[in-house]
Structure 1
């Protein structure tokens, strides 16, 4: 593995306008239900509501680096991270960066139908010198995506490396006021989420209705303690209870069937 980047003095400013511009694949965006870019799409409403509450906390609590994780696999966390980032990029005055840190099963690029060469994993393993080689500016938006290739090694080694510290430092100190959303692995998939969230300002927990047990949720949040939980999102829920954001839970199934 290459040597970690030595100090913040060597970190270059990472600005949206300096990144390569790419065009998402329309078919992939449609088939994967990426609706956060389009406020006229009624399916984007849950993400708009979530965005509003999160944006308020970003300002009031000066939060900028947010992880998205889940207590169980296949809960829809990447789907939520992509749509939330897209929704934020439409209204914030500053850019939104979406970083795929699910190094074993990253799918952010697939959700958007984006082809790429260099990924976050390549940077963490020292195969890429700069995050400028990784970041992709989504055409016509204020969103940048940092995709990842899957890694065959123990991904915790990459997360625990000095390169990860430099990635976080770059996102925190050298991106202006950009808001950064990190798509993390599920908490119990490995220890990547636990290691990652300790460097962030907080996280959002995605709960899969009917699959994630109350015990799994409690244990997952205990694992991430004391990092602040900024909210929970109950996915695939068909009831009428309120979620932690104060809105009716994001009933994605009913939105898609309409």
Structure 2
């Protein structure tokens, strides 16, 4: 039999089932338990679907190269600019060239009509000009005119070449009489020869540009042979020669120097000067110069890198070419 407590209804208020349960079981003392403070850290739970998708993408991912930092941009080194050489100005005395002597010697006269002789030397100078301008070396503008033996016309050719070359626009020509044993350039031009090449080699204080004679032929200057001595060959072989010749072309890209030297097989100056020039014109006389003499002269001038052959006093042309009479026929 179930025991039941007797309910006192008098003098008491009616209570609900919840209130009586609270009185019986003490529900007022119940509440949320305190959270412990020493629990270990636990990674958040990732849903399985998300984990599977991440694993698949990692298996099929394309490997990439590690990104390296770009090197710092540095300016490319600039080539050193070679300072421009100061031009050595020709400042010698001024003289007039005697035109009558030019005509007597059979040389080119600038003011006269165009002749076959002028046309021939125009052809010669064109090749020399082209080779000089194709080279960056100032020595290519120094031209030696020589012959194997005396009497082959090397001075005649040197003077005509100088006059023809001086006719070029903005070109200066220094005609150097380097035939110190038998100088004749000044005489053939009708000018007075004073100090010249050999004086600059003997005296370190003598400057060739101050001794180069200016002429009334525009662009033409003449440096006489100067005072000769028994030691001319030794002076020409000295280091001073290179210094003097360098001054004649220094800072002047449009200046040419033409040397009239003694015959190669007769004296040594031609062989000595060959080491200081870039072109050599070897004059041989048609039907007179032997092959042996030509080969010997070429060997003596071998210090020059470019030796050209000029055939003088020839009257035969395989093509029948004849300059100088074209204008007269028209």
Which TM-score tier does this pair reach, normalised by the shorter chain?
A: 0.7 to 0.9
- Judge conservation of contact 2:207–2:244 (CA < 8 Å) in 1: no
| 1:220 and 2:297 matched | yes
2:257 aligned residue (170, 180, 205): 180
Structure 2 residues without counterparts, runs of 5 or longer: 1-84, 324-330
Aligned to 1:99: 176
| 1:131 and 2:208 matched | yes
The 2-side partners of 1:100 and 1:118 are apart by: 11
| 1:60 and 2:134 matched | yes
Change (3 A) 1:127 1:226: closer
- What SS does the aligned partner of 1:170 have? helix
RMSD: 2.6
| 1:112 and 2:189 matched | yes
- Judge conservation of contact 1:35–1:41 (CA < 8 Å) in 2: no
- Judge conservation of contact 1:102–1:185 (CA < 8 Å) in 2: yes
Aligned to 2:166: 89
Aligned to 1:31: 104
How far does residue 201 in structure 1 lie from its aligned partner after superposition? Answer: 0.7
Choose 188-197 or 115-124, whichever is displaced more: 115-124
2:242 aligned residue (165, 168, 174): 165
Aligned to 2:287: 210
How far does residue 13 in structure 1 lie from its aligned partner after superposition? Answer: 4.7
- Judge conservation of contact 1:94–1:142 (CA < 8 Å) in 2: yes
How far does residue 38 in structure 1 lie from its aligned partner after superposition? Answer: 4.4
Higher relative contact order (CA 8 A, sep 6+): 1
Aligned to 2:267: 190
Choose 144-153 or 108-117, whichever is displaced more: 144-153
Q: What CA deviation, in whole Å up to 9, does each residue of 1:1-60 have, x standing for no partner?
A: xxxxxxxxxx985324x3322101222222112206347231312111111222222222
How far does residue 167 in structure 1 lie from its aligned partner after superposition? Answer: 1.2
The 1-side partners of 2:195 and 2:98 are apart by: 19
TM-score (ref. length: structure 2) = 0.65
- What SS does the aligned partner of 2:276 have? coil
Greater gyration radius: 2
